[in-house]
Amino acid sequence: MTQVPAGPDAAARVDALADELRAQGHLSDPRIRDALHAVPRHMFAPDRGWCAPDGPGPRRTIDRVADPGVWWDAVYSDASIVTQAADGAADPAAGVAEATSSLSAPGAVVAFLELLDVRPGDHVLEIGTGTGWTAALLTALGADVTTVEIDPAVAAGAEEALTVAGFEVRVLVGDGSYGVPGSGVFDSVHVTCGVTRIPYAWVQQTRPGGRIVAPWMPEFGEGHKVLLTVTDDGRAIGRLMGTANFMMLRAQRGALRVPDDMAGATETTTRLDPRRVVSDDYGADAAITGTLPDVMAASESGVRRFELVLADVAGTSWARVRRTGGAEHRVLQAGPRRLWEEVADAYLRWVGWGRPERSRFGMALGSDGQVIWRDDPSNVITP
């Protein structure tokens, strides 16, 4: 990574980006605005990468040498910039292979920093170093940061950028699922990669009253920001706080697999529209995944077709639900479980609750695993 000197309008670009984020409802803490100035984003941006805006805007290759104007505009926009693809085996600037590391979009970074509410002197454990930009922002906010990155090359690049930018951060190479064994406790844990299950090691390494913020990416539906507070009895409890979409923690990557061969599948019909089930509301997503944490979903759509694909994590059962133009939709299922019926029942139970929105759902995590609750931690959603 070539370190780029600040352009004559770097401070103005930071202010313009900060104003944009504030207009979106982020950046309520003036300390974070100061941190954005103290940690210029361009110092952590790659010379070449794939720019992927969180909102409207073209997805495209950016190249500092070939087109510096486009590069600067992208770096100071609310867009993520892919810095690694296929775990280093593909060109990250091509926008083709799976993105496996990035300079996260400022809006997403700021939203999680505000949830973390870091205080000067806090000891913060960061899971997923990436380019090092977020670790530098945490340091600028007064935290003592230990960050863990599983990819040695990514960690080396981040450590170099942090050193050049003048930030002292402890960068470790390892599987962040385990935290930092033997390092004592932290005041908070900041997670920059998606997780389906919150590792209990993070709870064990956070002092009572400490916060854990993470992009929770369940098997079904959209991802959610989750803010957990650690209790004095070794649990962590909190609410879902908004949408999140991050690259997965490597230890928790998964893929939905359904056989192409439909032999042995049972065919039925349903009056429930599968498109409605997967796109109705974030609250429905929380209710369904809370009831069925091991059911994976994906959808395939075209101009005149929509198909919902379901599979369980164990690989024993699957379902395909194809929307038709009539009153009945086609259902194909195989395996010991009737996954479509399970998902439909969970969705209709949410409807029967009065369609509660996402903010009414939360997570509780202990040594025995994690559960989702509605309205109160004692009201756990069960199958």
Phi-psi category of residue 10: left, alpha or beta, with phi > 0 → left and psi -120 to 50 → alpha = alpha
Question: Sorting pLDDT into bands at 50, 70 and 90, what band is 312?
Answer: very high
- With a CB cutoff of 8 Å and minimum separation 6, the contacts of 21 are 27, 78, 106, 107, 110
CA nearest 132: which of 108, 112, 102? 102
Tokens of 228: 């957990």
**What CA–CA distance (Å, rounded) separates 331 from 344?**
12
Average pLDDT over residues 132-161: 98
Does residue 272 contact residue 331 with C-beta atoms inside 8 Å?
no
**What CA–CA distance (Å, rounded) separates 302 from 290?**
29
Does residue 252 contact residue 196 with C-beta atoms inside 8 Å?
yes
Pairing of strands 266-270, 295-301: unpaired
Q: Is the pLDDT of residue 152 over 80?
A: yes
Task: Flag whether the pTM goes above 0.75.
Answer: yes
Question: Sorting pLDDT into bands at 50, 70 and 90, what band is 1?
Answer: very low
Share of the chain above pLDDT 90, in %: 87
Does residue 143 contact residue 168 with C-beta atoms inside 8 Å?
no
**What CA–CA distance (Å, rounded) separates 308 from 341?**
13
pLDDT of residue 287: 97
CA nearest 223: which of 189, 187, 192? 192
Q: Is the pLDDT of residue 8 over 60?
A: no
SS3 302: coil
Question: Sorting pLDDT into bands at 50, 70 and 90, what band is 261?
Answer: low
Question: Sorting pLDDT into bands at 50, 70 and 90, what band is 383?
Answer: low
Angle at 308 between CA 306 and CA 312, to 5 degrees: 170
pLDDT of residue 29: 93
Going across the sheet that includes 329-334, the strands are 266-270, 329-334, 318-322, 306-312, 295-301
SS3 245: coil
Gyration radius of the chain over CA positions: 22
SS3 88: helix
334 CB-side CA count, 13 A: 13
Does residue 55 contact residue 26 with C-beta atoms inside 8 Å?
no
pLDDT of residue 179: 94
What size, in residues, is the chain? 383
pLDDT tens-place string over residues 71-119: 999 999 999 999 999 999 999 999 999 999 999 999 999 999 999 999 9
104 catalytic? Reply is: yes
Tokens of 107: 């809006």
Going across the sheet that includes 79-85, the strands are 60-63, 48-53, 79-85, 99-103
Q: Which of 101, 102, 104, 177 is catalytic?
A: 104
Going across the sheet that includes 236-243, the strands are 170-173, 144-149, 123-127, 186-191, 206-216, 224-230, 236-243, 361-366, 369-374
pLDDT of residue 183: 83
